[in-house]
A = this chain, B = another copy of it.
Amino acid sequence: MNYPNGIKKKITKIIDYKNRGMSLENYINDSNTYYLEKDIAVIHKKPTPIQVVNVEYPAKNKTKITEAFFKKPSTTDYNGIYKGKYIDFEAKETKSKTSFCLNNIHDHQLEHLKKVMEHGGIAFLIIEFIALNEIYLLLGIDLFNILENSHSKSISIETIRVKGHILKYGYCPRLDYLKIVDQIMEVSHEKNMEKNKNISIKNG
């Protein structure tokens, strides 16, 4: 459309980083590559566990798997190191607009996350509500608090909005989940400082 005096309407390009058919897994893998290249963190996705039953050797130094099955994972999908801290998480998508069903996560994966927390690591879930275009990071401690106070097999979106931390779709990295981890580490550091201050006030 041409405006008078050659004025053209400025077209504002709204970049919608989502709805490009990219899966949550790709978002996280892309972010991990970014973190690795920028020397920010070393976090990798673990390979999918597969039970190999039969193999063939079609050529020298070549092994072809001809029969195999997917196994249930015994741990989470992602782990690594960030600022000296052990990081461990599982990522899940849901089509639901109302809640995240825990059937999506195996019991031993939950146990694993709990163990990681007990040993001083940072454990969390990343949950994407595809239909809502919303992604949340839910800390292990908050996840287990919710589970202890509920008999339901699912967590409502309202609860996740309150207890979780929203993750914005971005470009570099695509999903800056370590920014949230930073905030968590800062809060926990401040709490420790406060505790130490109180101890020295009592002792002084």
Residues of A within 8 A of B (CB): 36, 39, 41-42, 44, 46-50, 52, 63-71, 73-75, 79-86, 88, 112, 115-116, 118-121
Contacts and interface: CB of A to CB of B under 8 A. Distances in A.
Contacts of A69: 63-65
14 contacts: A36-B115, A39-B115, A42-B112, A47-B71, A50-B52, A50-B65, A64-B68, A65-B65, A65-B67, A66-B67, A81-B86, A81-B121, A84-B119, A84-B120
Contacts of A71: 47
A37 to B, nearest CB: 11
A108 to B, nearest CB: 11
Contacts of A79: 79-80
Contact of A70 (B36, B65, B74): B65
Contacts of A80: 79, 86
A120 B65 CA distance: 38
